[in-house]
Structure 1
Amino acid sequence: MRVAGSLALALALAGCGDPEPARDAGAERAEPRPPAAIYGRYCVNCHGRGMAGAPRVGPEFRLHWSHEVEEEGFEHLVRVAIEGQMGMPPRGTCFDCTDEELEATVIYMLKQSGAQ
């Protein structure tokens, strides 16, 4: 009987607290996440180390990013971030990122690299 009472108490207390509600992937946020936060959570894993041939981010890679913008265009870079290409997964695996957040993150990466 004592075990049953402890179990009931544990179950009752498990419902206490303020868990974060589940977020619908398509739901709009009150404010977009900062591009640096998105980059730091999703993009840096590949673009920080050049994993799987991903172009690296940083001032020493300015010429690469400047060339990409000049040759392919900014819109193309954003489309790749959204749709994926070759080893780049769609949305960089940030499936709840909005298109606007991803565009802002591409701009952030370009700025970090000093691209013109």
Structure 2
Amino acid sequence: MAFIRARLDEDMNLALDCIVKDGRWRAEGTSLVLDTAAEIERVYLAIADHMARHDPARVIRRVEAHRAIVDAYTDATDLGTDARGAFVSDRATGLGIAVKKMAAEHSDHPDYEAEWSVEPEPGS
């Protein structure tokens, strides 16, 4: 959990550093602009659309949602395991898969461990 919490903290801090008072990022033509009308940089349209999609306010909402999933997983795992070592809560198993998928977003990070990867479900 420390790995994914650290990545979420990095995303949140970067998003908070990019917030402009009363501003929202959006693509306009070939530029990325703030709703405050301050042009940031001329970029290709596809890049501008991508950058606008990662508006700091949206990143903050994603980080908060992911933190809630990590917290729910931690709560579910606190219920313990049975004699076979399986979680007593099916919720812990499902949330564990979700948390591993979230960690996979950072598979290029030097602290990422390959054992966290989730094998695809049979038939998918």
Higher relative contact order (CA 8 A, sep 6+): 1
Could you state the TM-score of these two structures normalised by the residue count of structure 1?
0.23
Q: Higher helix proportion, which one?
A: 1
Which structure: larger Rg? Answer: 1
Could you state the TM-score of these two structures normalised by the residue count of structure 2?
0.22
Q: Higher strand proportion, which one?
A: 2
